[in-house]
Copies of this chain bind each other. A is one copy, B any other.
């Protein structure tokens, strides 16, 4: 199989797997299950993966990790908007 197609399919699966969490938070405005530390680790790691993808010039790595960064930044923003004061 062409490696780029394989990477894009893999990225589609791991991207779709993140959506239920995002939808739940946006719908219920409930961020109790989110861990701030975990989101910061994830955003750091995923951003480094984007950088890795750029250096290696691999589009599937760049796209799927950039998508994950966006999802986690929305989750992080929701955390600060909706957390109980």
Contact = CB atoms under 8 A, between A and B. Distances in A.
Interface of A: 3, 6-7, 9-17, 20-21, 33, 35, 37-39, 41-42, 44-46, 48-49, 51-52, 55-56, 58, 60-61
Nearest to A7: B52
Contacts of A45: 10-17
A45 B35 CA distance: 23
Contacts of A20: 35, 37-38
Contacts of A52: 3, 6-7, 10, 60
A66 to B, nearest CB: 13
A49 B15 CA distance: 12
B41 A6 contact: no
A68 to B, nearest CB: 9
